[in-house]
Structure 1
Amino acid sequence: MTAGEWLALARARLDAAGDQDAVCDAEWMLCEATGWSRSSLRLRKSDALSGQVLEKIGAWLNRRASGEPLQYALGTADFMGLRFLADARALIPRPETETLCALALERLKGRPRPRVFDLCCGTGAIGLSVAHFRPDASVLLTDISADALALAGENARRLDVRNVRFAQGDLFGAAQGGPFDLIACNPPYLDQRDMEELQPEVRREPALALFGGADGLDFYRRIAKDAPRFLVPGGILLLEVGQGQAQAVRDMLAGFARRAVHRDLSGVERVIEAVSPTDPLNR
């Protein structure tokens, strides 16, 4: 079978399964299995595929057609130019979360040996990326899920990141080694209606990492209350928010010295930045 024939077959099958990104997903699988670039596919459509490649992409296609997220089928997800292991133990890292991570790295410039806290770490995408690009940092990653923490630990070993620590617990209940120069969190923020309207593949991801209470804001209320105690004066809190949540979350952080809203590459208000007062008496 040629590459072009397989792409046509895969697209038809994924279309029939309701995959709205059938073309992209089929090309992604083929490139992962062959090592080809997406830009070279047009020139390779007449290339014959080996039995080994066909076996691999056939297995991936079966899983994707069944409604499993493509990253789970492949077992990996890319984030900040790094490749992370991905499976049903944790939420798949999203491109929009790179907005938060890039901002964290920018804000840490000029802070030698910073202490960083990644709350609700999941795969470890945020905390491990910071640790990778800032080897002088000390990064604590926590999650309430033991399974997610195990996956984050596997990713740390895969990336050979050693300036990290892991602890299991509910939000700040697992905090250790503070206060911190920066706290980053992508908490569960879907509300009840969002959960009822999830796409089938998103339903395969852990509900624990998605549901943020009836209005989606439960975790933000708790973080807004407790975060100041765990930040150094002038420390930074970065929170990813869902679409339409930015103003409500910003208002919860009224006790901080400065607050700002940052948009992702799609123009959506995605990250709330809050800076702890430099005067401890005002914290």
Structure 2
Amino acid sequence: MCDSGDKALYSRRQRGRQMVTFRKAYEYALSALETAGIENSRNESMWLFEHFFGRDFRMMTDTERDTTADEEKSTEFISAVKKRTEGEPLQYLLGEWEFYGYPFLVGEGVLIPRQDTETIIEVVKSLEIPTPKIVDLCSGSGCIAITLSKETDAARITAVEKYDGAMKYLERNVKLNNSDIAVVRGDVLDADTVSAVGGCDIIVCNPPYLTQRDMEELQDEVKREPETALFGGNDGLDFYRKITALWKDSLSDGGYMVYEIGAGQENDVAQIFRENGFDDIEFTQDLCKIIRVVSARKK
């Protein structure tokens, strides 16, 4: 159950069972994460503690902190801390992450929702199309489509996802958030998927957009996320080129295509839009003042 580095955590009962106090468990997590160089190690220690023990360490009295914790939960907690020090994403260990104030289940096989992506929601909300039909391509966890179903007056929202690992989370998140979006299993680069989805007024997409160099320089924990949701070809633009050309005819006249992009890709994506007959191209910054979304209107 534990290696030599963990033995200091435990005090032995008469029957030989190994037990740990809440205080020792939290201190172990904080020390382990700090030693591993985890950013925000204190917050992460508290989040993991609350997830596994169901208690806020900050609100516990000294007496409560020195109480022996449940053995099974302690084992799970310590195991999770170890995984975190080895590069497992915090979000996967918690099993859930928030996006635009809504909860989304996440785990191995699905891209983790990020605050940067909330910029897409703000852009779509600003578009002046009453009761639009919206399609979310490369939907992943469904965070964009489901949030738009809560935050807009869309007449219909369809989420398209190809991979089984992400699809299971998408379907579970639809139920978790009591959303009425339609879910289509399909390859967004396949003409049959375009036909199956039909016409729409707004297409949103957070496609894979990392370059080959980006992939080689990824943090260890990001490497745990699916490569299929990250790698966008040698220059990171493959999906923008293919999706724009393939899906533009599905848009109504005056409809919009809204992409999340990587830092510095705005001019290349804007040129792709121009080459495919779009105008009114706009760049929108995220909270870090990085251009994160490019939107364009079909003529």
- Report the TM-score when normalising by structure 2: 0.83
Deviation at 1:7, TM superposition (A): 3.6
- Secondary structure of 1:25's counterpart equals helix
Decide which of 161, 165, 179 is 1:147's aligned counterpart.
165
Taking the aligned partners of 1:257 and 1:141, their CA distance within structure 2 comes to: 25
Q: Deviations over 1:132-153 (max 9, x none)?
A: 3346531111122132122211
Taking the aligned partners of 2:283 and 2:141, their CA distance within structure 1 comes to: 25
Q: Which has the larger radius of gyration?
A: 2
Equivalent in the alignment of 1:281: none
Decide which of 192, 210, 213 is 1:193's aligned counterpart.
213
Deviation at 1:202, TM superposition (A): 0.7
Structure 2: any 5+ residue segments left out of the alignment?
1-19
Taking the aligned partners of 1:210 and 1:45, their CA distance within structure 2 comes to: 44
Contact 1:136 1:163 in 2 (8 A): no
- Secondary structure of 1:64's counterpart equals helix
Q: Deviations over 1:185-239 (max 9, x none)?
A: 0000110111011111111111111000001111111123233211111111110
Deviation at 1:91, TM superposition (A): 0.7
- RMSD of equivalent CA atoms: 2.3
Judged with a 3 Å threshold, the aligned counterparts in structure 2 of structure 1 residues 54 and 257 are, in CA distance, closer, same or farther, namely: same
Q: Deviations over 1:45-65 (max 9, x none)?
A: 734266246455334313212
Taking the aligned partners of 1:8 and 1:50, their CA distance within structure 2 comes to: 14
Superposed, 1:1-283 pairs within 5 Å as 5-33=24-52, 41=58, 44=60, 46=62, 47-48=64-65, 51-52=69-70, 54-107=74-127, 111-112=130-131, 114-134=132-152, 136-171=154-189, 173=191, 174-175=193-194, 176-254=196-274, 255-277=277-299
Taking the aligned partners of 1:119 and 1:204, their CA distance within structure 2 comes to: 22
Bigger shift: 138-147 or 258-267? Answer: 138-147
Contact 1:186 1:239 in 2 (8 A): yes
Judged with a 3 Å threshold, the aligned counterparts in structure 2 of structure 1 residues 131 and 168 are, in CA distance, closer, same or farther, namely: same
| Number of equivalenced pairs | 272
Taking the aligned partners of 1:60 and 1:235, their CA distance within structure 2 comes to: 46
Q: Deviations over 1:24-67 (max 9, x none)?
A: 31122224345667xx83x5473426624645533431321221
Contact 1:149 1:166 in 2 (8 A): no
Taking the aligned partners of 2:137 and 2:120, their CA distance within structure 1 comes to: 13
Deviation at 1:81, TM superposition (A): 0.6
Structure 1: any 5+ residue segments left out of the alignment?
278-283
- Secondary structure of 1:67's counterpart equals coil
Deviation at 1:167, TM superposition (A): 2.4
Judged with a 3 Å threshold, the aligned counterparts in structure 2 of structure 1 residues 187 and 147 are, in CA distance, closer, same or farther, namely: same
Bigger shift: 251-260 or 5-14? Answer: 5-14
Contact 2:208 2:229 in 1 (8 A): yes
- Secondary structure of 2:80's counterpart equals helix
Taking the aligned partners of 1:270 and 1:200, their CA distance within structure 2 comes to: 23
- Report the TM-score when normalising by structure 1: 0.87
Taking the aligned partners of 2:31 and 2:162, their CA distance within structure 1 comes to: 40
Judged with a 3 Å threshold, the aligned counterparts in structure 2 of structure 1 residues 244 and 137 are, in CA distance, closer, same or farther, namely: same
- Counting aligned pairs with the same residue, the percent is 32
Taking the aligned partners of 1:8 and 1:194, their CA distance within structure 2 comes to: 35
- Secondary structure of 1:253's counterpart equals helix
Give the counterpart letter for 1:92 in structure 2. Answer: I
Give the counterpart letter for 1:205 in structure 2. Answer: E
Equivalent in the alignment of 1:280: none
